[in-house]
Amino acid sequence: MTNGQVVTRFAPSPTGFLHLGNVRTALLNWLFARQQSGRFLLRFEDTDRSRSSELYERAIMEDLDWLGLHWDGKPGHQSERSAIHQQALCRLAEQGHAYRCFCSERQLELDRKLAASRGLPPRYVGRCRHLARHEAESRAMEGEPFVWRLAARDTQGKVELCDLLRDRVCFERSDLDDPVLVRSDGRFTFLLPNALDDALDGITHVLRGDDHLTNSAYQVLMLHELGHMPPVYVHHGLLLGADGAKLSKRTGGTSVRELREQGLLPMALVQAMARLGHPNMPDDLDLQTLIRSFDIRRLSTSAVRWDPERMWRWHARLIHESEPETLLPAIRERLPQADAEFVRLIQANLERFEDALKYRRLLDPHASLSREAMDVARQAGVGFYRTAVSLWEEDPKASDWRTWTSRLGGQTGLKGRDLFLPLRVALTGALAGPEMRAVVDYLGYEGVRDRMRTIMEVLES
């Protein structure tokens, strides 16, 4: 550890938009760093130049910002250290820890089949591992394609790594493979650059999914051979789709972009995510409480399932609990005439922002009615509304919901739903919603009168 300070990082490949698996990794690393008063770095693993793009980098940063997961310092780029990665590879090769492998894909496929037929795991057989260096070099010089492999597998020895969620993680080297470090087109796989950059960036803790456990063993081995201290790992359980399969579009795995476009409030995603695999997270909807309550040792090593409905329930709760002013921009995107009073009136009736559209008649007396609302109005009939308007207009100063409806009930003989629903429909446009007393106060004398008149016009036309 550098001065005992915790340093974590989020290291996405900028080859697509931020997805929910990324959000979980970023959030956990961010929570731990913030709680420990440490640093949280952002590093783009952009060595795959053909698939990486600045557009995705910008999008990822925007999405992290939107979530409130701010990083420290300038974002790093793996590609900036290409020369260092290359030097490290040479060093491993010189020490006999990395070697060129010339086996063709076809040969490897045959090896895998043979292993499978014998009930053995599909590991590299080690054919090229003991090629004499001068032979390997001359074959490479002649243009024969090759990959670089890490010489990890051995008849004896162990690799141990420190994982905060597991007592001791120990791999027998005889169980390991010789993974590819550099592909035949010269591109590094993630193993070496990722581990070396962590060491050079002073990363103290790596929180990531347990699908990386074996990768960590290779990385620890490599770091030791390169003379670096490996980080402490926290391999948490994976995030799965609602059906227990890999998270995908079909199982509710959308990108953050899509959720933003659907109007989701960021804290709903953060809250839903922070609770997964972490018992007893409080249900306060604010980042500071989450930071305080985060306990890294309680993170579950079992897989967790993503439930988009739960996230949307947090979203609804946020809508209900937020100050109207903070919701106004999202409502105005859908209803430009909306003001804070309108939001205050309807917010308790919203699950999603687009639900506000149901109440557009509160803002515009001429807003058309849905078919269901129109059926209610037709059934009440123009006569009902005529009586209602004349009672309303009788004494503008005394026009309030209670007096109005009790007089209207008296004259028409209607009560309950038969009396109130046609009024609700005429004033709000919706079949359910805020309390009518509040609706009438919000609309005021003229607002009520205008809506009653327009509904009569519609029924008479």
| Beta carbon nearer to ligand GLU, 88 or 103 | 88
**Look-up of token digits 């005529």:** 386
Residues 7 and 39: beta-carbon distance below 8 Å: yes
The tokens describing 37, both together, are 């008063």
Binding segment toward ligand GLU, per CB under 6 A, in 5-13, 124-132, 149-157, 336-344: 5-13
Question: At its nearest, how many Å lie between ligand GLU and the CB of residue 211?
Answer: 9
DSSP 8-state code for residue 359 = G
Least separation in angstroms between CB 219 and ligand GLU: 8
Q: Which of 162, 191, 158 is nearest to 175 (CA)?
A: 158
| Stretch near ligand GLU under the rule CB under 6 A, chosen from 8-16, 96-104, 222-230, 340-348 | 8-16
260 binds ligand GLU (CB under 6 A): no
Phi and psi for 366 in degrees, rounded to 5? Answer: -95, 0
Q: Per rule CB under 6 A, is residue 255 in the interface with ligand GLU?
A: no
Instruction: Please select the residue that binds ligand GLU; options are 7, 8, 13, 264, rule is CB under 6 A.
Output: 13
Q: Do the beta carbons of residue 34 and residue 291 sit within 8 Å? A: yes
In the shown chain, the binding pattern of residues 149 to 188 toward ligand GLU, with x for contact by CB under 6 A and - for none, equals ----------------------------------------
Nearer to ligand GLU by Cβ, of 208 and 361: the residue is: 208
- If binding is defined by CB under 6 A, does position 194 make contact with ligand GLU? yes
208 touches ligand GLU by CB under 6 A:
yes
Query: Hey, is 21 helix, strand or coil?
Result: helix
Tell whether residue 81 is a contact of ligand GLU (CB under 6 A).
no
Q: Are 447 and 359 in contact (CB under 8 A)?
A: no
Nearest to 78 by CA among 47, 40, 41: 47
Q: Which residue is nearest to ligand GLU (CB)?
A: 45
Among residues 6, 7, 8, 11, which is the contact residue for ligand GLU, using CB under 6 A? 11
Contact pick of 66, 190, 401, 445 for ligand GLU (by CB under 6 A): 190
Q: For residue 232, what are the β-bridge partners?
A: 205
Nearer to ligand GLU, 57 or 339 (CB): 57
Give the H/E segment covering residue 26. Answer: helix 20-35
Site string (34-73) toward ligand GLU, x via CB under 6 A: -----------x----------------------------
Q: How far is the CB of 217 from ligand GLU (least distance, A)?
A: 13
Q: Total number of residues binding ligand GLU (CB under 6 A)?
A: 8
Is there a contact between 79 and 47 (Cβ–Cβ < 8 Å)?
yes
**Least separation, in Å, of the C-beta of 229 and ligand GLU?**
16
**C-alpha 272 chain-centroid distance:** 9
Residue labelled with tokens 């699950």: 351
| Cβ neighbours of 143 (radius 10 Å) | 7
The piece of 7-15, 302-310, 320-328, 447-455 that touches ligand GLU (CB under 6 A) is: 7-15
| Closer by beta carbon to ligand GLU, 206 or else 338 | 206
Task: Determine contact, residues 210/274, Cβ cutoff 8 Å.
Answer: no
Q: Is residue 224 within 8 Å of residue 252, measured between CB atoms?
A: no
Q: How far is the CB of 207 from ligand GLU (least distance, A)?
A: 8
Residue 158: phi, psi to the nearest 5?
-135, 160
Q: Rounded distance, CA 24 to CA 305, Å? A: 12
| Binding residues vs ligand GLU (CB under 6 A) | 11-13, 45, 190, 194, 206, 208
